[in-house]
Amino acid sequence: MSRLPIAAGNWKMNKTAEEASEFTEALLGLSPNTSDIEVILCPPFVSLYPLSQKLAHTGVKLAAQNCHWETKGAFTGEVSVPMLLAVHCQYVICGHSERRHIFGETSEDIGKKVKAAIHFGLNPILCVGETLEEREAGQTEAIVFDHLSHGITNLTKEEALSLVVAYEPVWAIGTGKAATPQDAHQVIYYVRQQLTKKFGEKTAEQIRILYGGSVTPENVFDFMKDPDIDGSLVGGASLDPTKFNKIILESLRASQ
């Protein structure tokens, strides 16, 4: 089954609203007008609204880096899914390793965020992945299973069609040490197997699974050649419009 590839840029805590706008103008001037890949920008909250104005009618999608599962209330510093929809987000990242390991989000918390996102019509990008210590201890599948199973536990087959999964080995994020395509394939194949057990083959084959972790213009082609890898969640290389555009082009080339 053919799945539309994704190139998503997670800017993390980088770029002011002005810098984000400058980046977007530069990227739009470089990128081909294509329907063959889904390009997603994930800026900080303060840049979502101004970028939504620039991205209108361009085909480039907008994602938030996090959300809360409640719609409103006394949750200082949090942002709800309806708030994200109001600034024209189409996606939201749920369970990035930095949220898990720095801010203490649990797999149960993340499952509630995934459910809330889909309930209101936002597409969650559920991140799963192991640390170096967990990998060396042979716990990769157990950790990925925990992250994935809690993230999808309350979803129906119909809801699962809105899901994107991103495998991000923690040891490869921001380190310059990407997993090999073989490493990524092994875990992503395992993820697809678990999705099949939960939702059935027909649904699982429609869910896109990304690789993230030190993705660069130089290595993305090798990842994207794998038919089981449907795209990339890019960190540092997505902060430069020229590099990110190269990732988009290389992803397209590998998918053809």
Residue 35 is predicted with a pLDDT of 87
What's the rounded Cα separation, in Å, for the pair 107 and 95? 8
Q: What does 64-133 look like in DSSP terms, one character per residue? A: ES--BSSSSSS-TT--BHHHHHHTT--EEEE--HHHHHTT---HHHHHHHHHHHHHHT-EEEEEE---HH
Check residue 174 and give its pLDDT.
Answer: 72
The SS3 call for residue 37 is coil
Dist. CA 135–CA 129, nearest whole Å: 9
Q: Please report the pLDDT score of residue 1 as a whole number.
A: 56
pLDDT, mean over the chain: 95
- pLDDT of 230: 98
Q: Are 89 and 162 in contact (CB under 8 A)?
A: no
165 strand-pairing partners = 126, 209
- Reported as a single tens digit per residue, the pLDDT across 160-211 is 999 999 999 998 877 777 789 999 999 999 999 999 999 999 999 999 999 9
**129 neighbors 97 (Cβ within 8 angstroms):** yes
22 assigned to active site: no
Q: Which entry of 38, 68, 96, 250 is annotated as an active-site residue?
A: 96
Q: Do 178 and 221 touch, CB atoms closer than 8 A?
A: no
Alpha carbon distances (Å) from 19 to 14, 25, 47, 235? 9, 10, 9, 16
Choose among 22, 172, 21, 10: nearest CA to 95: 10
Got the DSSP string for 161-210? TT-EEEE--GGGTTSS-PPPHHHHHHHHHHHHHHHHHHH-HHHHTTSEEE
Q: From the candidates 159, 168, 185, 250, give the one annotated as an active-site residue.
A: 168
Q: How far apart are CA 68 and CA 109, in angstroms?
A: 9
User: Is 96 annotated as catalytic?
Assistant: yes
The kind and range of the H/E element at 9 are: strand 6-10
Task: Give per-residue pLDDT as tens, 124-168.
Answer: 999 999 998 999 999 999 999 999 999 999 999 999 999 999 999
Predicted confidence at residue 245, as pLDDT, reads 97
Cα angle 137, 143, 146 (rounded to 5 degrees) comes to 155
Is the pLDDT assigned to residue 44 strictly greater than 90?
yes
Provide CB contacts within 8 A for 175, sequence distance 6+: 213, 214
Query: Which residues, other chains included, contact 58 with Cβ-Cβ below 8 Å and sequence gap of 6+?
Result: 28
Q: How far, in Å, CA of 7 to CA of 235, rounded?
A: 11
Q: If you average pLDDT over residues 9-14, what whole number do you get?
A: 98
Q: What is the pLDDT of residue 222?
A: 96
Residue 231, CA atoms < 13 Å, CB-side half-sphere: 24
